Amino acid sequence: MKDLVICLKNKAGALADMGEALAGEGVSVEGGGAWVVNNEGVAHFLVEDASKARKALEAKGIEVIKENEILVQRLKQDQPGQLGKITRAMEKAGVNIEVLYSDHDNQLILVVDNYEKGKEVSDNWTRGVYA
């Protein structure tokens, strides 16, 4: 899985165009979101096949800005403070979180500025070791 950063026009139908372009090539969106920032549409969407998704979008004139490696984590929803704990662990390791969202399976998706350090924190979190 990869996170795609997609530039969308700030107009009605831009997300529909994106969704139809992906569907036309059999690409499913597994999580993500879209926002308008400074009158520009910016989307982060999680896809299984980033190359296929990029090709489908670019064929329809939709710009893919970047592909990101992701960290996937499952938080214990019945324990308040999980988000603060994992994000603090990233901070203590010197890792900046650039993007954070949930996928369709209620997993936390993280795009970080230092994937290797972030992966170490994520792996420790999975083992129950909280920095």
Digit-by-digit pLDDT tens for the chain (131 residues) are 999 999 999 999 999 999 999 999 999 999 999 999 999 999 999 999 999 999 999 999 999 999 999 999 998 888 899 999 999 999 999 999 999 999 999 999 999 999 999 999 999 999 987 75
Largest Cα separation within the chain, whole Å, is 46
Beta-bridged to residue 43, according to DSSP, are 6, 34
- Rounded CA-CA distance 27/50 in Å is 9
Token representation of residue 45: 């969407």
This prediction's pTM: 0.89
Candidates 52, 51, 68; CA nearest to 2 is 68
